[in-house]
Amino acid sequence: MLEARGLAKRYPVVTGLRSLFSARRDSYVHAVDGIDLSVERGEVLGLVGESGCGKSTTGKLLVGLEQPTAGTIALDGEDLGALRRRDRRAFYRRVQMIFQDPYGSINPMHDVFSAVSRPLVYQGMRDAADIRRRVLAAMARVGLSPPEVFAGRHPHLLSGGQRQRLCIARAIVLEPRFLVADEPISMLDVSIKWDIIRLLRRLVGDEQLSMIYITHDLTTVPTLCHRVAIMYLGRIVEIGTPDEVLRAPKHPYTRALVASIPSIDPHRKRPPAQISGAIHSAIDLPTGCRFRDRCPIGDAGCAAQDPALHAVDGRAVACLKASSTAPAATADTVLPSGGA
């Protein structure tokens, strides 16, 4: 349904008048550096990585808040670059975004009803009764019930979880086919997170929606996602089903991520940290594999060649060392079973 090829986004380091004088004028921050994605109808693809890996930028590219500097995005076969220029409105009836910050993503001047009805109003809808029906329906679906009571409230009187439900209601009120959820639960209390995850799962299931679920929290992935992609420094380093990727990760970075998931079990032995150092700057990328200066199994060969995603054991990995025979280095990881 949605397919991205060679997607890239880079930002110049110096902007404005200074760019004429600065020596760094040819330096760019390579936020997204050539990724391929595809999401089918009714499928949820998780996009996981640490801060600065480019996952949020990817989300913005898919939603049209940023323009790619390279690559294409196709929605149901149509090239989005051309589509967006022609008709923004039509585009946003098909694609919507759920934002991370439930506090900042609602206009403080709006009450609940106004906030949810904005998309309809901006799309040109005039029939007040029709608008009202749709808004209340959307609110009911996300669990803001009874909708009539919530409609007149002001966002700052709602809890974090309720506000996020509001954002979701706003996102679905236009009945889009494709959602990009940018870390929708990272700013919520732990007790609320799972409610929202379950809500998203229900919405996806009921409407056969496609979703890209961006997160840094691996534990939520198995519940919601059909497939998961791990991002590092603007590239995807591994894609597979949550089961495959989390129980038997093939990329050293994925292994480190999985190993770092905290566990309640005091008896579980955690292997010591497998990777060293901090994430590399996205401006001057290292030659060859960009993970090699932190990688526990990297060698000289890794400096020479930049690994692309290739198929290993039915999924894609971007590591020169990855093969079917490499042992899965994870100990038994503790993951919540799907349906928690």
The residues that touch other proteins, with contacts defined as CB under 8 A, are 16, 18, 63-65, 88-93, 96-97, 99-101, 104-109, 118-119, 122-123, 167, 170, 174
CA distance 100 to 112: 18
> Nearer to other proteins by C-beta: 27 or 241?
27
The residue whose two tokens read 């967006």 is 84
Q: Give least dist CB 320 to other proteins, A.
A: 38
137 burial type by CB count under 10 A (0-12 exposed, 13-18 middle, 19+ buried): middle
Identify the DSSP state of 20: G
> What's the min distance (Å) between Cβ of 201 and other proteins?
22
Residue number, 56 or 223, with CB nearest to other proteins = 56
Structure tokens, 334: 């503790």
Q: Using the minimum distance from each CB to other proteins, give the nearer residue, 108 or 152.
A: 108
Q: Which is nearer to other proteins, 123 or 145 (CB)?
A: 123
Q: In the complex with other proteins, which residue's Cβ is closer, 87 or 189?
A: 87
Nearest approach in angstroms of CB 66 to other proteins is 10
Q: Which residues contact 257 (CB under 8 A, 6 or more apart)?
A: 48, 218, 230, 249
Rounded to the nearest whole angstrom, what is the least distance from the CB of residue 106 to other proteins in the complex? 6
The count of other CB atoms within 10 Å of the CB of residue 334 is 12
Nearer to other proteins among residue 180 and residue 199 (C-beta)? 180
What's the burial of 131, exposed, middle or buried (CB within 10 Å: 0-12/13-18/19+)?
Answer: middle
- Please, what is the minimum distance in Å from the beta carbon of residue 63 to other proteins? 6
Query: Cβ(170)–Cβ(119) under 8 Å?
Result: yes
Q: How far is the CB of 95 from other proteins (least distance, A)?
A: 8
Closest distance of CB 109 from other proteins, Å: 4
CB burial readout 307-316, b (16+ within 10 A) else e:
bebeebeebb
CB of 238 closer than 8 Å to CB of 49: no
Nearer to other proteins, 138 or 312 (CB): 138
Across 4-33, b (16+ Cβ under 10 Å) vs e yields beebbbbeeeeeeeeeeeeeeeebbbbbbb
